[in-house]
Amino acid sequence: MKVTIEYMLNLATSLMMERGLSEEEAKMVNEHLLEAELSGKPSHGFMRIPRICERLESMKLGEITITRESAVSAVIDGGNKPGFVVAYKAMQIAVEKAKEHHLSVVGGFNTDNVGIVGFYLRAIASMGFIGIMTANSPAKIPPWGGVEPVMGTNPLAIGIPTRNEPIVLDFASSKVTFGDVLLGAKLGKQFEEGILIDQDGKPTTDPREVRSGGIGAINAIAGHKGAGLALMLEILAGPLVNAKG
pTM flag (> 0.85)? yes
Under DSSP, is residue 141 helix (H, G, I), strand (E, B) or coil?
strand
For residue 245, the model assigns a pLDDT of 64
For residue 244, the model assigns a pLDDT of 78
Cα–Cα distance between 90 and 85 in angstroms, integer? 9
Segment 20-44 mean pLDDT: 97
DSSP, res 196: E
Segment 152-169 mean pLDDT: 97
Within 10 Å of residue 116's Cβ, how many Cβ atoms?
A: 23
Confidence of residue 214 (pLDDT cuts 50, 70, 90): confident
Instruction: Tell me: pLDDT of 151 over 90.
Output: yes
For residue 194, the model assigns a pLDDT of 97
User: Which uninterrupted H or E stretch holds 95?
Assistant: helix 83-101
For residue 122, the model assigns a pLDDT of 97
